[in-house]
Structure 1
Amino acid sequence: MSTQSSEDFIVLGKISSVYGVKGWVKVFSYTEPMDRILEYGDWTLRQGQKLIGVEVDKGRSHGKGMVAHLKGVDDREVAKKYSGAEICVPKDRLPELDEGEYYWYELEGLTVINTEGVVLGEVDHLMAAGPGNDVIVVKGNANSIDKRERLIPYVDQFLLEIDLGKGEMTVDWDPEF
């Protein structure tokens, strides 16, 4: 494997289990739409700190999820060893975004401050709560007003500014919520 570290990659999904007896795996995709995960070419699988390069030779939607076949993996028992692995690609393979658009991984770890300058915590992660209803999960830390977890809708009404350089996100959010 190359000299890239785990931080050079972005997680696009996860292999949840095996599918069938011919080496196919079930894939949970974080991409939108979910089958976009197949457009990134070869994957790097991360299991703990171990990185494994694999080539996806087939894939398709299946029910509410995806299934994929990894080149050279033609047996259920071999495919089983990849269960639970995170599916990663190098960050530099992600498409450029327009001004004011961000990948979720870029927002994770930002300090969240409201319009009165109160530190609410930091962005732990984001979650999709339905079409157009993404939510920022903010967890209190040593620098925040309290240790509460807050769920803030990812909409212009509440999200006022993102400054990746300063590592801050400004929100219009009452600390009591």
Structure 2
Amino acid sequence: MATTPLTLEPAELPTDAVEVGRIADAWGVKGWFKVLPHSSNPEALFSSKRWYLQPSERGAKTFNGTVLLPIRQAKDHSDSVVAWAQGIDDRNGAEALRGARIFVPRSSFPSTSDDEYYWVDLIGLSVFNREGMALGQVRELMSTGPQTVLVLAYEQDGKAQERMIPFVSAFVDKVDLAEKRITVDWQPDY
């Protein structure tokens, strides 16, 4: 069976682009593909009709640089997300996207309510306790089932350390995205 070369439109990665998932594999025979979202709530994948792809760091590359992938449809399916894009009309086209990293502009994310935050917006924020003592910088967030935990990086005696604080209202007083600061009710020796 002959493979048709992918004809994807080269594009500039938007300055506010956020990596939201990867393409896992083809799904069916009509060009649909399976997506592994980086979030348990992949709303950014559903809200954006323009995905930007970059090839996987490993494995065979079927395209180079950044390309624009106009999305016809993306939906939940079982425990994953499946999508169908313009110009990808058969299984071979979908397989050629395997491993590609998916980026969407942060500006296309759905709005959040007052006490909701996207994890990507919290990474890099400085965390201080009520007394104004610096506790570290958010390196990542981790879901532990019932709650999310802030994983902070800080230095003590010249050594890199890690501190974890539950991201719940009992400990988090204020998140100020403009000031890039989170205030918590937490002591360094907890």
Which segment drifts farther, 149-158 or 68-77? 68-77
Question: Does the aligned pair in 2 maintain the 1:112–1:170 contact within 8 Å?
Answer: yes
- Tell me what 1:152 maps to: 165
Q: CA deviation at 1:15?
A: 1.6
Is it true that 1:123 corresponds to 2:141 in the alignment? no
Kindly tell me: are residues 100 and 63 of structure 1, through their superposed partners in 2, closer, same or farther at Cα, counting changes over 3 Å? Answer: closer
Q: Of the two, which has the highest radius of gyration?
A: 2
Q: CA deviation at 1:17?
A: 2.8
Gaps of 5+ in 2: 1-9, 58-63
- Tell me what 1:136 maps to: 150
Gaps of 5+ in 1: none
Mapped to 1, the partners of 2:189 and 2:92 lie a distance apart of 52
**Residue identity opposite 2:182 in structure 1:** M
- Tell me what 2:5 maps to: none
Give the one of 32, 39, 63 matched to 1:24. Answer: 32
- Tell me what 1:11 maps to: 19
Q: CA deviation at 1:53?
A: 0.9
Mapped to 2, the partners of 1:141 and 1:25 lie a distance apart of 43
**Residue identity opposite 2:19 in structure 1:** V
Mapped to 1, the partners of 2:74 and 2:99 lie a distance apart of 18
Secondary structure of 2:142's aligned partner? strand
Mapped to 1, the partners of 2:179 and 2:75 lie a distance apart of 41
Correspondences of 1:23-172 after superposition (within 5 Å): 23-30=31-38, 33-34=41-42, 37-47=45-55, 50-130=65-145, 133-141=147-155, 147-172=160-185
TM-score normalized by the length of structure 1: 0.77
Kindly tell me: are residues 125 and 81 of structure 1, through their superposed partners in 2, closer, same or farther at Cα, counting changes over 3 Å? Answer: farther
Q: CA deviation at 1:129?
A: 2.8
Give me the CA root mean square deviation.
3.0
Aligned identity (percent) is 34
Mapped to 1, the partners of 2:149 and 2:115 lie a distance apart of 17
TM-score normalized by the length of structure 2: 0.72
Question: Does the aligned pair in 2 maintain the 1:121–1:138 contact within 8 Å?
Answer: yes
Number of residues paired by the alignment? 174
